[in-house]
Structure formats: C-alpha cells, structure tokens
Amino acid sequence: MAGRIPPQFIDDLLARTDIVELIGGRIQLRKGGKDFQARCPFHDEKSPSFTVSPEKQFYHCFGCGAHGTAIGFLMEYDRLGFREAIEDLARRAGLEVPTEGAPAPAGPDHAPLYAVLEQAAQLYRRQLREHPQAPQAVEYLKSRGLSGEIAARYGVGFAPSGWDFLLSRLGADPAGRERLAQAGLITEQDGKRYDRFRDRIMFPIRDRRGRVIGFGARVLGDAKPKYLNSPETPVFHKGRELYGLYEVAQTRRKPERVLVVEGYLDVIALAQFGIDYAVATLGTATTADHLQVLLRSAPELVFCFDGDRAGRGAAWKALEAALPLATGNQSLRFLFLPDGEDPDTLVRAEGQAAFEQRVKSATPLSTFLFDQLKDTVGDMISGDGRARLVALAEPLIEKVPVGIYRNMLNGQLAELAKLSPEPLRRPSPPRRGAAQPRRPTRPSRVAQAIALLLDHPELAGEAAAEPPDWRRSDSPGVQILVELLDSIAAYPAINKARLIERWREHPHFDYLRRLSVAPFLDDIPLDGLAAELTGALQGLSKDVRDADRLRPLNRRSTADWSDEMREQMDRDAEQARTRRR
C-alpha cells in the first residue's frame, strides 16, 4: 500500500495548478468580473451560479452549494479517489508523487493489477506485429478497413492460440500467477490455470486516466463466444466503463456530442472515417453510471442501434435509464440504422458526411418515447386508447426531474391524449420531515473567525495584532483557530485552496470546508472583513476576561464578597439590562 502524500507536495501541486484551466477543460466558463462563471455541472439550473476564483483557486456553486479545490473538483466531476486526483494533477504538472511515513488508509493498492494489465497489452500489441499466427488477424483488420495507424491509436493486439502465452511470461512465480488471476487474464478449470484469451484480436479497455483495466476480444475462428470481455475484477466493472472514452478525450478536448454504439470495431471503424467521438458499452445495456459519465463528457448524446426489434428494445432500455437524468439541458437522441447495417458497414458504404448527417438528424428522446408508446397502444382514436397512452406515459414522465423538460413532456402527452395539461402536472409531495425554510443564522464567534480566515487567509495579520486572550478560550474550535493561524504564519502567501487542502485529513474537514463558503460571508463588504474578524476575536477575548473575573466569585459564598465585588456585579447587571433594551 502506498504511503501518505506529504502535505508540502500537495501544497506545491496546487500552486502549480490553474483551477480555471482545469475546470474550463470540462465545462464552458465565461469571465464575469474577477471570477469565471458557468452553469453548475453538479445540478440542473438555467442561469449560471457556479463560480471559479483564480485568486482563491476555488470553485463554489451558490445554487447547490458544491465547492472545493482542484483536487475536490476532480474527485466530484471525474469521480476519482483522493490519491487518483493527486496523481492526475501531478501527471499534468510533470511531477512524481512522493510518499512518506505510515501507509495511507485509502483502501487496496491496485497498482500491481494496472501494471500487469499494461504489460499484457504491450505483449498483445507486439504479437500483432511479430507472431507467426498474426497475419490472419492483420488481414481481418484490413478487411474491416482499418489502417495500422488507427489500430495503433486504440492499442489493438493479438492473443496467440495455445494455453499459456501470458502465463509463461507473466506468471513465472506464485505472486505473478495471482496477479494474472485477479486481473482476469487467466482462468482455472479442474485445478489447472490457463490463458483466458486465445486466438483472438485484443482491444484494451482504458479508464478515463488511460490505464488498461480490461480487454475485449474477438475470436478469429469459429469458437464461441464470438466476443469475450474481461470478467469483473477489482479494477474493471463493465457497467461503469465505456470503450473508447479515453481516446475521445485525447482527440477532442470537449466534443460537441458523443455517439454511443455497441461494438469495439464500430468505434474504431468510425474513428478511421473521422468520426472520432464514438464510444461503446461493454456487452451490457446502458446504465445510470454510463449516463452520468457521458453527460459530463458532451452536451449531446446520440445512442446508435440497429433498426430491428432487438435494437429498439435496447434503445428503450437506454431511454428508461436516461429519464431520471433528462433535464433538457443536454440533448439525448436515438439513431436507428437500416436493417442489416451496423456503424462499421454503413460508414464504409456511404462515407463520413452522409453518416454524420444521420447522427445530426437522430430522433429526440421525447419523440422516441411517444412514438414507442403510440405503437404499443395502437388505437389513438378512441378515448380508451388515449387513456391507455396516459397510463403508460405518466409513470415514465414521473421519473424525469421536476422542471421545464418534465412540463414539456406532460404538455406533449396532453396534446396527444387531447386533455388539458393541468391534471398531468402533479406537484411533487413534500419530503417527510422536511424542515421549513428559515433565515440562516450566523455561526459562533469561533466559527466566524475560522470561516473568515479560510476564505481570506490574508486577514491573519489582523488576528496577530489582537491581544491573545482569546487563545485561552475553552469554546469549541479555538484550537483549530490557533492551528489555522499558525499554518498561515508559516506560509504567508498561501491561498484559500492550498490552506483548505492542508486540513483534508482532519476529522472535521467537511465542516471546515462548508464554513469556508458560509452564507454570512457574502453579506460582508470587502472593506469590512478585517473588522468582522477582529470583532469576533475581541468578543472571544472579552468572554475570557469576564470568566477570569467571575471565577473567584463562583468559588466563594456571596456573604464573603467585598464591596468592590458587589459594585462590579451591579455594573455588569446594569450593562446586561441595557443591552436587552
């Protein structure tokens, strides 16, 4: 297991990372004053409430509350783990990630599996060039119209026939054989281990970071199955991954659309003809995990299926998976090919321009939805037929997020059923136990001071100028406030992002991160920030001094109080009454 990543390295990495460039590579940012703005990628919205601050190297959505650093964005948007996000940023910066001390509690270390999968991919690629059996595979690829250049881009290889090609090269010892088994590269039967892939053209499957996580394989002879995927492994889950998505990201920084097809060779053949934005599911129906990844990849998704009954059935499953994510902000379309054609054969027959015209003219989700339902109902003339249409459509439309797109679908349904749309627009019931909206209140003085310093580390000088009485306070969080000021004193030029990341392993990291975007901060003008901080610290100091003065009184009977003590208590009581008025 890898060791901990030194905090200083993370600090340096964030200093080298431009969060605007990082986020701008995934969503469209527009300059708005000193910050950049966009529609939030984490929730559905019509107007931009997502801001990225170059000064603070921090993002924040005022709509859904999402916020964080470059590391946090990669973790949320690309669904990476903490270490994976660090490694991604380090690779961009040309740095090696060092480790130190005790092992990090980040779960199993899969580095050996990635390493053996990459070794296998290299061996397969080499066999396509060198093995005596390879010419048959090469001829097959040529017959499908693929060039050597496109095969190299997708890392196509060849697994020779026989039982131990990989086993003999990468499984010389028990540890090596165990890695091969965990990576799904060998299998076992009757106590004997042998290569899973034999006499097949090999298509390496990569994750979004370009690491080989599994393989798809097409047989050259008559063996069954014709196509074979890697089994589920600790690093490969076919319901989450998409073949070709890494290559799309390498070719196009932000594609206008992603075309979802069914086969590896469809993806590669389309790329051969310049349609380099296709991906394939891995022998499974489109899942919600697939869709979440795809919707972050492009503003338009086009699902491509055969036009036969099986193709339309697969398309309907994709539609059902897409409904809970359909907001209307991104286009979801369906392309059905002529009978007997697949993307590979069709693009070779009619060329890039004609095929892309089909893609651009694909059927919108709403049209496909109602066309299928009308075909199911059949009778759209009688009231009974239209009532059945409503009965079939309403449960599907209920899956769509509340908003304009859902209202539009209800409007289309009402028009088809010849009804008023109002009965179809059912308000969503309130969540059980949901609290009523209330005016946000300010946090405690300590929390206010922490929030101000996290958002504006440059205010630390103001705190240093204050009398240190507050440091003796027993209020919750004071020790954090002390450590926060010490961190800033050690690194006076530190910005918000780097400061917050230094607290990631703290038990209250999530709370501190939320404090850094506390609503009360937005109500304070820039020229009032210093006064707010000093006011919070002065209030804490006063509480400490008051406690110091009252401590001896609390330890003695009132009969033993001196006249001076009684006069002080009277003055304190009068001040309290004045404040209440």
Q: Is the pLDDT of residue 14 over 80?
A: yes
Predicted confidence (pLDDT) per residue in 458-506, tens digit:
888 888 788 778 888 877 888 888 888 888 888 888 888 888 888 887 7
My answer on whether 214 and 317 are in the same domain is no
- Asked whether residue 435 is assigned to any structural domain, the reply reads no
Looking at the domain assignment, is residue 7 inside a domain?
yes
Indicate whether this model's pTM tops 0.85. Answer: no
At residue 190 the predicted structure's pLDDT band, cuts being 50, 70 and 90, is: confident
Q: Which domain holds residue 124?
A: 111-229
- Do 65 and 145 share a structural domain? no
Token look-up 């038990």 returns 507
Token reading at 88: 């991604």
Same structural domain, 94 and 198: no
Reduced to 3 states (helix: H, G, I; strand: E, B; else coil), residue 335 is strand
pLDDT of residue 569: 59
Q: Is the pLDDT of residue 195 over 90?
A: yes
Q: For the chain, give the mean pLDDT.
A: 84
Residues 10 and 74 reside in one and the same domain: yes
| Contact residues for 97 (Cβ-Cβ < 8 A; gap 6+) | 5, 9, 83, 86, 87, 90
Is 437 contained in some domain?
no
Q: What are phi and psi of 290, to 5 degrees?
A: -55, -50
Whether residue 58 sits in one domain with residue 118 = no
DSSP secondary structure of 230-279 = PPP-SS--TTT--BTHHHHHHH-SS-SEEEEES-HHHHHHHHHTT---EE
Residues 64, 131, single domain; the answer is: no
In contact, 449 and 477? CB cutoff 8 Å: no
pLDDT at position 314 over 70: yes
CATH number for position 331: 3.40.1360.10
Least confident of 158-162, 176-180, 416-420: 416-420
Q: Do 80 and 205 fall within a single domain?
A: no
Residue 320 within a domain: yes
Q: Could you tell me how many helices (H) and strands (E) the chain has, helices first?
A: 24, 18
* 273 and 307 share one domain: yes
Q: Is 154 in the same domain as 249? A: no
Going by the DSSP 8-state scheme, the letter that residue 313 receives in this structure is: H
Q: How far apart are CA 18 and CA 30, in angstroms?
A: 15
Contacts within 8 Å (CB) and 24+ apart, 373-379: 374/416
Domain boundary, last residue among 177, 205, 229: 229
* 529 C-beta neighbours (distance < 10 Å), count: 17
Say yes or no: 254 and 356 in one domain. Answer: yes
Please indicate, yes or no, if residue 97 is contained in any of the structural domains.
yes
- Name the DSSP class of 436: P
CATH number, position 420: 1.20.50
Most confident of 70-84, 110-124, 413-427: 110-124
Dist. CA 169–CA 253, nearest whole Å: 38
Give the number of other Cβ atoms within 10 Å of residue 527's Cβ: 7
Give percent of the chain above pLDDT 70.
87
Q: Is 534 inside any structural domain?
A: yes
Query: What would the pLDDT profile of 394-446 be if each residue is shown by its tens digit?
Result: 999 999 888 888 889 999 999 888 877 665 555 544 444 444 444 456 778 88
580 pLDDT band (50/70/90 cuts)? very low
Residue 307 predicted with pLDDT over 90: no
Q: What pLDDT is attached to residue 200?
A: 95
E-strand ranges in 294-431 read: 300-306, 331-337, 363-364
| Residue 186 main-chain phi, psi, to 5 deg | -130, 160
Helix spans in 34-81 (H): 70-77
CATH number at residue 48: 3.90.580.10
- Cβ atoms 476, 437 nearer than 8 A: no
**Are 471 and 408 in a shared domain?**
no
Provide the number of structural domains found in the chain.
5
* 301 closest CA partner among 363, 243, 239: 363
Q: With a cut of 70, say whether residue 527 has pLDDT above it.
A: yes
Q: What is the pLDDT of residue 430?
A: 47
Residue ending a domain, choose from 103, 126, 145: 103
Q: How far apart are CA 1 and CA 17, in angstroms?
A: 27
CA dist 6 and 216 (Å) reads: 38
- If one counts every other C-beta atom within 10 angstroms of the C-beta of residue 82, the result is 18
The domain boundary residue, chosen from 229, 257, 273: 229
Is 478 within 8 Å of 470 (Cβ atoms)? yes
Residue 19 lies in a domain: yes
> Which pLDDT band, with edges at 50, 70 and 90, does 552 fall under?
low
Same-domain pairing of 206 and 314: no
